[in-house]
Amino acid sequence: MKPKFFYGYIIILTCFIIAAAIEGSMFTFGVFFKPLLTEFGWTRATTAGVFSLYGILHFLTAIVAGRLTDRFGPRSVLTACGFLTGLSYLLMSQASVLWQLYLFYGVIGGIGFGFYWVPVISIVPRWFVKRRALMMGIFISGIGVGQLIMPPVTNWLISAYGWRPSCLVIGSILMGIIVISAQFLRRDPYQMGLLAYGESKAKQENPAIEVGRIYLREAICTKQFWIYCVILITFSFCFSVVLVHSVIHAIGLGMTPASAANILAIIGIAGIIGRLAFGRLADIIGTKPVLTFSLVLMSIAFLCLAITGEIWMIYLFAAIYGISYVVFEILMSPIMAELFGLSSLGTITGVSFAIGGIGFIVGPVVSGYIFDISGSYQVAFLICVAMAIIATIFATLLPLTKSKPASYSTS
């Protein structure tokens, strides 16, 4: 008898909550940036280096997270994520010298965050065959909700109580929400005697008929794997620059800290719209045209930011960027499932994610250094324009189709 309620929707809700909590917290680093500079007197490049170390450990841990997810399931991995991420903020509240900030936030926080992304994006394709992109869009909308709530709330906490008590509050909330939510996750519907949404009974009885089944050792020998990694690197570079430098750039143009923090909230609101609209559109017309269009939009967004110092243009950037960058996030998992199947989805995703982390690591430090020597972010934003254009070109080379997985080519 078919159950009246499909547990896959609980999976989506749980991933939504986890995404809102942890991604919202990541967007608060830009809000903490100014108070840290004020108290310790470090250069922007040195302070941004904390976030780059966070990125290094984040992406290296993703490799391990992928293997652990394939072996033990997402619940255990995300429980560890919640504990370590919350702990990093609790410890950061006690930091008094630079190396402690690098250890508490950069190392512990980076490892904790590294246990997050691969498990949540690899679980959705296992529960949904049809409406994959839409379901990804719904759960990843949690990121937008987190962006909408966390930066303004963090700015208010810092203004009212200081940055150290704010870390204690955020750390406690993160640990509680993520650890509790993770207990509701299940690796796939088969554990509960269910079919994935839109899956045929024949496939459940014979999982070996999965089309496009491929493992890590075969995946890294394909052209599409490395094309995808180039897109990840360029995307991550742009993303990390926005995370670390957008708020302080806005403050430098004359905005108040509260208004500058709202830039991230606008990105979050626009992101919610983009995730839902483009997630549904990708299910209808396919992932490739939607991905390509979004990257074109991203290049336009950074061009707006680079050509003028007007405050109104920052709001325009936030709206366009918020809509555009989220598309790649919601399409990551469907693209990987289409290209490489589900057999080793966590492992392949983790390795590609780690390679893509090169851009995430380099972006904040390069941009901070450019500002330190020139007093402006203009060149950094122009580099982001170039990165978005490169990503667009490589997106057109991905062998994606609407109805069936791509064939695997090693030539």
Dump pLDDT digits (tens) for 225-279.
999 999 999 999 998 898 788 888 888 888 887 788 778 778 878 888 887 788 7
Taken in order of first residue, the domains within the chain and their CATH numbers are 12-188+212-395 (1.20.1250.20)
Determine which helix (DSSP H) or strand (DSSP E) holds 140, and give its type and residue range.
Answer: helix 132-161
- Residue 97, pLDDT > 80, answer yes
The per-residue pLDDT for 292 is 92
Question: In terms of pLDDT, which residue wins out, 150 or 2?
Answer: 150
Which residues on adjacent β-strands are paired with residue 128?
Answer: 197
- Residue 38, pLDDT > 50, answer yes
73: left (phi over 0), alpha (psi -120 to 50) or beta: left
Dihedral sign for Cα 395, 228, 82, 264, please.
negative
Contacts of 333 (CB under 8 A, 6+ apart): 121, 122, 124, 125, 132, 136, 345, 349
d(CA 59, CA 323): 24
Percentage of residues of the chain with pLDDT beyond 90: 31
Q: By the 8 A CB rule, do 61 and 115 touch?
A: yes
- Residue 8, pLDDT > 90, answer no
Q: Report pTM.
A: 0.70
48-62, 256-270, 394-408: least confident range: 394-408
Structure tokens at 348: 């392949």
Q: By the 8 A CB rule, do 334 and 131 touch?
A: no
pLDDT-based confidence at residue 136 (cuts at 50, 70, 90): confident
pLDDT-based confidence at residue 207 (cuts at 50, 70, 90): very low
The per-residue pLDDT for 3 is 55
The per-residue pLDDT for 198 is 74
Q: By the 8 A CB rule, do 3 and 194 touch?
A: yes
Q: By the 8 A CB rule, do 224 and 339 touch?
A: yes
d(CA 242, CA 92): 22
Burial 219-255 (b: 16+ CB within 10 A, else e): beebebbebbbbbbbbbbbbbbbbbbbbbbbbbbeeb
Average pLDDT over every residue of 151-172:
92
Structure tokens at 222: 């394909």
Using DSSP's 3-state secondary structure scheme, residue 6 falls into coil
d(CA 273, CA 262): 17
Contacts of 276 (CB under 8 A, 6+ apart): 134, 137, 138, 141
